[in-house]
Amino acid sequence: MPEPIPAAYDSKIEGNVIFTRLDAAMNWTRKNSLWPMPMGLACCAIELMATAAARFDIARFGSEVMRFSPRQCDVMIVAGTVTYKMALAVKRIWEQMPEPKWCIAMGACASSGGIYRSYAVLQGIDQLLPVDVYISGCPPRPEALLEGLMRLQRKIEGERSFIAQKPALKRELSEVLG
């Protein structure tokens, strides 16, 4: 039996320290506190409200903090029909959200214009914003929105966002650590 490799062991901190990748830690914190920007534009907003209320309880996924200031939001939930008159306002609010940010197109109208093949309706919010998750339905049930949120969480888990977003920090770290 080989001798165990001697390692520094401090009983005071053992059990209180976790080693992980920086990306994994950052993504873990991000995905579990996605603060939504409730961009409620039509009937989907009613389902969005139901999702936030007690029966479906979006708080179970860390997203109960609906912020009405885009400066404090992580994910924009576009819930409803985006008319051309509203489209640039939605884009402006999206641009006011700080990075990193994600977008959920909730329902048929936000995804593709839905039943509104018309002169007045933008045929999908993805013509203006990068959409991460599309949710089908007219309107989608709250379960569908929660499923979409969970898929977005899984997507965030796999991102290499932090290192990609902070090239200066990465350089600094590699200099310090050698």
Partner 1 sequence: MTGAELLDSLDRLFRGKILSRIEFRGETTFTLAPQDLREIAQFCRDELSFDYLLDISSVDNFGCEPRFEVVYALYSLKLGVHLRLKIALSEEVCAVDTVSDIWPTANWHEREIYDMMGIKFTNHPDLRRILMWDGYPFFPLRKDFPLEGKPSEMPDVAFSQVAPMEGGPFVTVPSTATTKDREPRARRPDLNE
Beta carbon nearer to partner 1, 58 or 108: 108
Q: Which residues of 156-170 are buried (b: 16+ CB within 10 A; e: fewer)?
A: beebeebeeeeeeee
Residue 78, phi then psi, degrees to nearest 5: -85, 100
Tell me if 79 sits within 8 A of 41, measured CB to CB.
yes
Shortest Å distance, C-beta 38 to partner 1: 23
Is residue 87 a contact point for partner 1 (CB under 8 A)? yes
Shortest Å distance, C-beta 123 to partner 1: 6
Query: Which window, 24-32, 67-75, 79-87, 141-149, contacts partner 1 (CB under 8 A)?
Result: 79-87
Candidate residues 24, 88, 169, 173; the one interacting with partner 1 per rule CB under 8 A: 88
Shortest Å distance, C-beta 40 to partner 1: 19
CB atoms near residue 62 (< 10 Å): 16
Closest to 163 (Cα-Cα) out of 8, 9, 24: 24
DSSP label at residue 61: G
Candidate residues 33, 84, 98, 171; the one interacting with partner 1 per rule CB under 8 A: 84
Q: 46 Cβ partners below 8 Å, 6+ apart?
A: 139
Question: Taking CB under 8 A as the rule, which mask of x and - marks residues 17-56 in contact with partner 1?
Answer: ----------------------------------------
Tell me the residue type at 47.
Answer: E
Copy the structure tokens of residue 80: 């409803």
Query: Which window, 45-53, 81-89, 97-105, 141-149, contacts partner 1 (CB under 8 A)?
Result: 81-89
Tell me if 26 sits within 8 A of 162, measured CB to CB.
yes
Q: Which of residues 103-142 bind partner 1 (CB under 8 A)?
A: 113, 116-123, 127
Interface residue list for partner 1 (CB under 8 A): 84-85, 87-88, 113, 116-123, 127
